[in-house]
Every structure is written in structure tokens, then in C-alpha cells.
Structure 1
Amino acid sequence: MRADRRDDADVIVVGAGPAGSSAAHWCASAGLDVLLLEKAAFPRDKVCGDGLTPRAVAELARLGLHLDPEDGWIRNHGLRVVAGGRSWEVPWPDVTAYPGYGLARSRMTLDHRLAQHAQASGAKLLERTRVTGPLLDERTGRVVGVRAQDADRREVTYRAPVVVAADGVSSRFATALGIARRDDRPIGTAVRTYFRTATPSGTTVRHEDAWMESHLELWDGEPGRSALMPGYGWIFALGDGTANVGLGSVSSTPARQSAAGHDYRSMLARWIANAPEEWGFTPENQVGPVRGAALPMGFNRSPLYRDGALLVGDAAGMVSPFNGEGIAYALQAGRVAADAIAQARARTTDAGRERTLGTYADRMRAELGGYYTLGRAFVRVIEHPAVIRLGIRYGLPTPVVMKLAVKLLSDSYEPRGGDWSDRVIAALTRVVPAA
């Protein structure tokens, strides 16, 4: 597809997180020359729960990664839900579309592994290269590359006929193109830290937990006898002697989140302070600071494609409103974007290439738009505390409801066929508008 001898690559990918590394891998595997630009140096951290649902595992398997426990991947059986003084262990759905297990791995090593995989596929990775904006054709205004600062802070430009913006929630690249975040989409906030999970006797109790644990009630003190804080908490075992411990909250719009004005770091501290002693969540066992991040949800940036630039992952707001997961959709978006780019290269006219690149946005909306629409409705409902209380009291103890809820919340259902619950979810995603 490279038509200009001045081009440095067939495609430039901005950001080497899961979305960017996925796009780089798939583009390189299709025979394209790929330049993958990352502002930091690996290994580097990213605020996340570090949990991977079966949907994300399926994307990792497509990439060809080895997911053996001996290689640092810890498997989990499903979700443990804690609320109302009880807990329920719900296995991941048994469906043909996805494996029956989830994974956990810290983003410190996950992102590095994905970037290395993209390199092994043929992509050229430049670390400590901060992209400052798009390079535009003076005549057409089309994106023809990027402006950046290299590792020595020198101003440089890199040219390519297609750029994939995978530069995260703030996405300077998309903003510079005038693609702003939407204020009618949900926005989440997450804070987390890590703990060595050792008791005073030295026995670890949480880091090898086979279940991803979600707390639907966050008490500011003794459960049932103190204030109930907004949001939900999690404990994800990492298998290396530590656990990721955090909490999240979601609002239907950025304005509602701003109006709430919660101090999430303080909330996390109060929740952890009341954790059972045997969990080992003490100051001396804390590893690293509490860090927070915004979670852009439900396609909160559009269009997903414009004038040679494709938005993927957090840059496009692809976090699920149901569960706050973004990795599965980031990996998926990178794969779909690469397919559109590779197909565009085979077209013989500019108009044909442009139409083909535009299919990326069409495919992502067709595959995720209905599900995200349901997610936006879900967020509006759970903003009412009374609804949460009713769900905990009457919904969680009901196996049929729990089965449907886990499939819906984890987005792990049979898109075609399956049992009654799969057909219900699939039908709902088809009948709602994919906006």
C-alpha cells in the first residue's frame, strides 16, 4: 500500500498497549511494514485490574501466545461474587466461542509480552518515542504520518499511508484530529494497588485463588453496621505472591461522575482497612502506590475511522460498560483494524482503499454496538442504589439469574445458537440500536 517513496512504513501504530500491539502483530503477519511507537520504555505499568475474561483469552490464543501457567499466566475458574454477607462462585460459561477459563497477569508483564510478540511477527518497535500529533497532507488534510519526539527528545516525523491510534484514554492523536470524546457515554474510574498476601505466619492465602473475586458492596467499616460506599471492589490473584486489589465506579455520563465527586483512593483505603486480617492487606504488605485511571466506555469517541486514521482500544472508548474490561475489545479492535488495512492494500484505487478502511468502523459497531447499547442502559439502572439492593437480595441467590448475569456481564455467550440464555442475550444485542 506504500505509494510514496518517502514513507517509512505501510502503517504506523501509536501506542504499544494491547490494542496497538495486536494491530501491529496482525498487520505484520499480513506482510505489511509496521512501525510501532511507544512513549515509555518496557517494562512499564498500566492501571488495570489485571484480569482477563474468557473473551480476552480467546483473542490471546488467536495471537498465537503460549498461555501456560509455567510462563506466568494464572488461570481462574470463574467469578466469586460477594454481597449481602454471602458469596457465590460462578464458573465461566461453557460455550464453544470462548475457553472455559480466565487469566490474570499484571500489565507490567502483559503489555511487554504483547509488544515482544508484535516484534517477533515483524513489527519495528521504537520505545521512548512520544507522538505529539498527526502529520497531514497539506492539500487533502489526510493523515500521512505522525510528528513525534524520539528518545533524545528530537523532533522527528514518520510517514505512512495509514495510522492506527492506540494511545489510550486521552488520545492526543484523536484530539488533534478533532475527534472528541462524547459526553453521552458512560465513564468509569478505577483505583488499585498490590499486596503481598502473606499472613503473620508466612502462609500465603490469596495470590493463588482460583476465582476472580468481586465485591458488590463496599462498607466503610463493619459490614451491615457502617456506611455503604458506591462502586464495587475486586481481588484478583496474580500467582506470584501478590494480588491486585482495587475498586471501580461507573456513571452514565461524565457530568454525573463529576457531580458525584467521590474520593476513590480514600474509599479504597477505608475498604481495605476493614479486610480480614488473614488476607494480609496491611501497609507493610502493600507493593507500590495506589494508582487510578479513567475507563472510557461504549465507543465514547467517534468516528472510529477518519482520513487514514483508525482508533482502537481506549482511544476509541472500547471499555465494556458492564464490567469495566477493555483488554478483550482492545485486542479484537487491533485484529479487525489490521484486517481492514491489509484488505485496503489490495485495492487498486484511492476510493476503493478508502471504502475498505471504512469497513473497520462498520465491523466494530456491528460486533459490539448492540452490546454496548445494552451496557449503557445497564449503567443507568445501577445508578439507583435501590436497584442494586434488590438485585443482591433477590437476583444473586437465583441460579438462573446468576447464569444469565455472568454471561451478560462477561460478554461470554454463544453469538449463534447455544442455550436459552445465549439466545436471549444475542437477540437483545440485535434488536437495540448499535449507536
Structure 2
Amino acid sequence: MSAFSSLLRTDVLVIGGGPAGLAAAIALRQRGVDVTVVEARPASIDKACGEGLMPEALTALERLGILLDARDGVPFRGIHFEDVKTRVEAVFPSRPGLGVRRLRLHERLRARAEEVGAHLLWETRCQLAGPQSALVNGEEIRFRVLVGADGQASQVRAWAGLDACRVDRVRYGFRRHYQIEPWTDRVEVHWAERGQLYITPVAEDCVCVAFVGREPMREDEPWQPHFPWVEERIGNAAECSVPRGALSATRVLREVERGSSVALLGDAAGSVDAVTGEGLAGCFQQAEALAAAVVSNDLEAYASTHRAISRLPHRMAALLLLMDRYPALQQRALQALAARPHLFEELLAVHVGERGLPRFALERGPQLCLGLLMASSY
């Protein structure tokens, strides 16, 4: 007998067993909903990312019953911006973030999903057969709601006719790990014309280095020529993982649900550029909103909440990507913030949702504009 032959029917069928799909399964089970997750890959899933969980991501995980601590990764107290001449940093207003290897995060999510009673089917093929049925390794399973959590190239999204985008931009990146003791308790974002280099402490003897830029890059493309000041810090430290590439997409869909039976989640439902570090926080918050909508049989409410969750990250990404696109603006912005570090602290509070962006713009916008005018490009 197969692992799923006794299922035959499930309230919710989730396609995709990454963080989004597992978070949805956990949130649904917390509300008593029967849920099955189908994933074609093995149970341990890695993905190229910066591996830094922002404070609001940790808070959302705690609501899902997952408490991460120093055994899972390395706390970081804030964010550090730096280019060849200027640096500025700030601490989070309430709680630290946590640098966590992606495989470790997936392991914790998978264990929690199993603990709450979700059905997890790994290395399993799924073919959608009708509005509320699918073939799982050739056997039919019926469901009430279908959730597409199958990533940026979502087949569920295409099947449901939800591919239409209002915004669709892509950048390119690679992630590496270096065996070296972290030298900072911040996530560092280094800026150059080629792109950004993100450095996150993830273990007592390991840092994650992610290189992201607008132009396509090769797996073996060195980041060192663009960031010589970082090369000096890492020195001859050995790489301790295989380089892994990924797209950093800005994608806003016109719709994330269809009727009362299909919803999209995580990257399948659109994505925000990695420059914000907010992708996973939004994913976990979406999972909670989706579970509430399924229970109330109101996927339109999920679509509304999804828009609200995505609004601030997309606005902050737009500001940061202007700096990526125009190096002279980036140089002036870092100078202005370095001269007025309280503005960077308040911007970080906006970024993590502890201060409103309109209020910041009204009260601090004139100071920031003056700083930009007084600064100079290199």
C-alpha cells in the first residue's frame, strides 16, 4: 500500500514542500484543518538566499509554534550598509534577527508540520486532474482547497490562470559559505556598481555570502574584485558549501486566488527582491492569513490580507533598488545616512514594521532630502 492510498480525500492539498508550503500546513493544522503537502523533491530542501531571518519572521514562526534560538543559528542585532568609502549601521528597535542555514530552517519547519499532524508526501508527483481532484503518483486524491506553494515557476499558478503580473523584474545571485568566525553582529550589505554583497553570520565558524546584481552572472564569477574591502576581511577562509544560484524576483500578481478553491502562497503568489530580507517573514504571515481564510471559507479575504502584507516590503524594495540602479544616488544616500545615523535607525524601524512609512516621510523626509543634496558622488 502506498503512503497516501489511505488519504483519498483531504481538506487542503498544498503543492510545494518548501517553507511556504510547510508554514501553510502548520497554520492549517493549528486550526484543525486536514492538510496534505505534496513535494517532488526529497525531504531536505535547500535554496540560495541570504539566510537572515528578520525579527518579524521570528515572531511569525513563534506563532506557528517554532522557537528558534542560538542552537539553530547566530543572532544579529541590526543592519550594516557599506560601500568603498562610507558605512552606516543601526540596531533593530525591539528584538534581534537570526542567521539560520536554509537546511536547518527547513528541518525545523518539517518537524513542526509532522508534529501537528500534516500529511507530508516527499518525492511525490502530482498532476491536477480537475477543479477539486489530483493524481498523486497516479492515484486520485480529492480536496476542497488547492494551495500553490510551488515557487516562482509555479505550475499551480499557470494551471489556475493566475500568471498575469502587474510588475515583473528579475535580478541574479549566488550564495556561498565561508568557514570563518563572524566578525560582526549585524547583517552586512555591501554596495558596488555590480550589485550587493550580503553577509550573514550563520554559525560560530561560518558566514553566508550572497552576491546579487542586475546582470546575469556565472556560478564561478568572483565577487572579490567588486568588494575588495570585504575580501580583506574574509582573507583565505575556505568555502564550505557548493555555490548555489537563484533569481531575486520582484513580482506582483494581479490575483492570488481563484474562486473558493485555489490560492497561491510564497513565491508562487509573487515575490519581493532579496534586498529587503523580508521574503520569509511575508511568507509566514501569508500562511497564517491563508489558514484563517480557509477556515472562514473566504479566500477573497486572504487576497486582501496578502496585498496588505506585501505593501511595505515592495515599497522599501523600490527605494533600495533605486540605489542599486543609480550608484551616484546610492553613494549620496549612504553619506546622508552616515551623517545622520538616527535617520537610518528610524528607517530600519519602518522596514521591520515598527514605524509608519508615511509618518517617517513627513517628519524626516526634509532632513533626508537635505542630506542627499549636500552629499557628493565618488
Q: TM-score normalized by structure 1?
A: 0.74
Indicate conservation of the 8 Å contact 1:236/1:245, yes or no: yes
> Could you tell me the percent identity over the aligned residues?
24
Distance 2:284 2:141 in 1: 24
One-letter amino acid matched to 2:194: P
Distance 1:182 1:14 in 2: 21
In structure 2, the residue matched to 1:407 is 349
Q: 1:61-100, aligned counterparts within 5 Å?
A: 61-69=62-70, 71-94=71-94, 100=95
Q: TM-score normalized by structure 2?
A: 0.84
Shift in Å, 1:117: 0.5
Q: 1:152-163, aligned counterparts within 5 Å?
A: 155-163=138-146
Which 5+ residue runs of structure 1 have no aligned equivalent? 95-99, 137-142, 150-154, 198-204, 218-228, 251-259, 345-355, 426-435
Instruction: Say whether 1:30 aligns with 2:36.
Output: no
Residue 76 to residue 171, structure 1, CA distance change in 2 (3 Å) = same
Shift in Å, 1:306: 0.8
Q: Deviations over 1:81-136 (max 9, x none)?
A: 22243433310123xxxxx11011111110121021111111111111133x4332
Shift in Å, 1:162: 0.3
Shift in Å, 1:371: 4.9
Alignment equivalent of 2:244, drawn from 288, 291, 299:
291
Indicate conservation of the 8 Å contact 2:19/2:109, yes or no: yes
- What secondary structure, in the 3-state scheme, does the structure 2 residue paired with 1:168 have? coil
One-letter amino acid matched to 1:145: S
- What secondary structure, in the 3-state scheme, does the structure 2 residue paired with 1:421 have? helix
- What secondary structure, in the 3-state scheme, does the structure 1 residue paired with 2:203 have? coil
Shift in Å, 1:212: 1.1
In structure 1, the residue matched to 2:178 is 195
Shift in Å, 1:247: 1.3
Indicate conservation of the 8 Å contact 1:135/1:145, yes or no: yes
Shift in Å, 1:378: 5.1
In structure 1, the residue matched to 2:121 is 126
Distance 1:331 1:161 in 2: 22
* Residue-pair matches, total: 358
- What secondary structure, in the 3-state scheme, does the structure 2 residue paired with 1:235 have? strand
Alignment equivalent of 2:258, drawn from 303, 306, 327:
306
Alignment equivalent of 1:333, drawn from 275, 286, 298:
286
The Cα RMSD (Å) is 2.9
Q: 1:19-418, aligned counterparts within 5 Å?
A: 19-69=20-70, 71-94=71-94, 100-131=95-126, 133-136=127-130, 143-149=131-137, 155-180=138-163, 182=165, 184-197=167-180, 205-206=181-182, 209-217=184-192, 229-249=193-213, 260-263=215-218, 265-268=220-223, 270-271=225-226, 275-277=230-232, 279-282=234-237, 285-297=238-250, 299-307=251-259, 308-320=261-273, 323-344=276-297, 356-369=298-311, 371-373=313-315, 375-376=317-318, 379-380=321-322, 382-408=324-350, 410-414=351-355
In structure 2, the residue matched to 1:223 is none
Distance 1:46 1:290 in 2: 11
Distance 1:292 1:174 in 2: 23
Distance 2:120 2:363 in 1: 44
Distance 1:186 1:413 in 2: 28
- What secondary structure, in the 3-state scheme, does the structure 2 residue paired with 1:405 have? helix
Shift in Å, 1:395: 3.0
Shift in Å, 1:45: 1.4
Which deviates further from its counterpart, 83-92 or 8-17?
A: 83-92
Distance 2:144 2:34 in 1: 11
Residue 369 to residue 88, structure 1, CA distance change in 2 (3 Å) = closer
Shift in Å, 1:294: 1.1
Distance 2:334 2:220 in 1: 25
Shift in Å, 1:157: 3.4
Q: Deviations over 1:25-58 (max 9, x none)?
A: 1111111111011222222311111101111111
One-letter amino acid matched to 1:306: R
Distance 2:299 2:233 in 1: 54
In structure 2, the residue matched to 1:433 is none
- What secondary structure, in the 3-state scheme, does the structure 2 residue paired with 1:358 have? helix
Shift in Å, 1:424: 6.5
Indicate conservation of the 8 Å contact 2:90/2:341, yes or no: no
Which 5+ residue runs of structure 2 have no aligned equivalent? 1-5, 365-378
Distance 1:381 1:214 in 2: 12
Residue 295 to residue 276, structure 1, CA distance change in 2 (3 Å) = closer
Q: Deviations over 1:306-328 (max 9, x none)?
A: 14111111111232575153111
